[in-house]
Amino acid sequence: MKRLFLSLTALLFATAMFAQKKADEVAKFATETIDQGKLKQNNPEEVKFIVTNISKEPLIIEQANPTCGCTIGDYTKTPIAPGATGFVSAKFNAANLGHFEKHLTVKFAGADDIKNIVITGEVLAADDYDKWKAGNPAPATMVKAQPAAPVAAPATVKAATVPVKTTKAKTVKAAKPATTAKAATAVKS
């Protein structure tokens, strides 16, 4: 009975030692979903997902695959050092009109699960896109690699004039050092 118990314990420890990590333990994406916004039909745009190695060992992206034929992915093929970043990029063909949501899967070496990343947006016909762009003077492109952080509107501050008083620096003469005889007399009194 003791041998059976020891064998099972040894098997359990061996299994735990060789257990693989989860993708979230070795890598962190700056964002897992990139919204491309409005795209012109048949005008594909590339997005780039930035991934950081959060482990203490080099990170290798084994595979980065689209789940459909609509996206073509590329990725960092060399090992990513601890704390360094790599990328996974994809291009959506924008052939069909309407809203889209495309998934890519990423497999890291040493991780037993697959990470999903997503591209979303809306494809407009060329005429509709041109009308939309004319009505939106802000640039239609945005940073696709990372989500934009919300920016607070700056407070309006009225400039105030503060009078500054200037003074002329005065030269101060140092006191003459006491001679040792005078200092000794001063100490005795």
Q: What is the three-state SS of the chain?
A: CHHHHHHHHHHHHHHHHCCCECHHHHEEECCCEEEEEEEECCCCEEEEEEEEECCCCCECEEEEEECCCCEEEEECCCCECCCCEEEEEEEECCCCCEEEEEEEEEEECCECCEEEEEEEEEEECHHHHHHHHHHCCCCCCCCCCCCCCCCCCCCCCCCCCCCCCCCCCCCCCCCCCCCHHHHHHHHHC
In this predicted structure, the answer to whether residue 165 has a pLDDT above a threshold of 80 is no
Q: Per residue in 62-111, pLDDT tens?
A: 999 888 767 777 899 999 999 999 999 998 888 889 999 999 999 999 89
Looking at residue 83, its pLDDT comes to 93
C-alpha to C-alpha distance for 172 and 3, rounded to whole angstroms = 93
Domain-wise residue ranges, the chain: 20-135
Looking at residue 24, its pLDDT comes to 83
Looking at residue 66, its pLDDT comes to 86
Token couple for 9: 């314990």
C-alpha to C-alpha distance for 63 and 117, rounded to whole angstroms = 13
What whole-number percentage of the chain has pLDDT above 90? Answer: 41
Looking at residue 76, its pLDDT comes to 93
In angstroms, what CA-CA distances link 40 with 33, 60, 121, 127?
Answer: 20, 35, 11, 9
Looking at residue 154, its pLDDT comes to 40
- pLDDT class of 11 with cuts at 50, 70, 90: low
In this predicted structure, the answer to whether residue 13 has a pLDDT above a threshold of 90 is no
In this predicted structure, the answer to whether residue 128 has a pLDDT above a threshold of 80 is yes
Mean pLDDT of the chain: 74
Looking at residue 139, its pLDDT comes to 56
Superfamily of domain 20-135: Immunoglobulins (2.60.40.10)
In this predicted structure, the answer to whether residue 1 has a pLDDT above a threshold of 80 is no
In this predicted structure, the answer to whether residue 164 has a pLDDT above a threshold of 50 is no
In this predicted structure, the answer to whether residue 169 has a pLDDT above a threshold of 50 is no
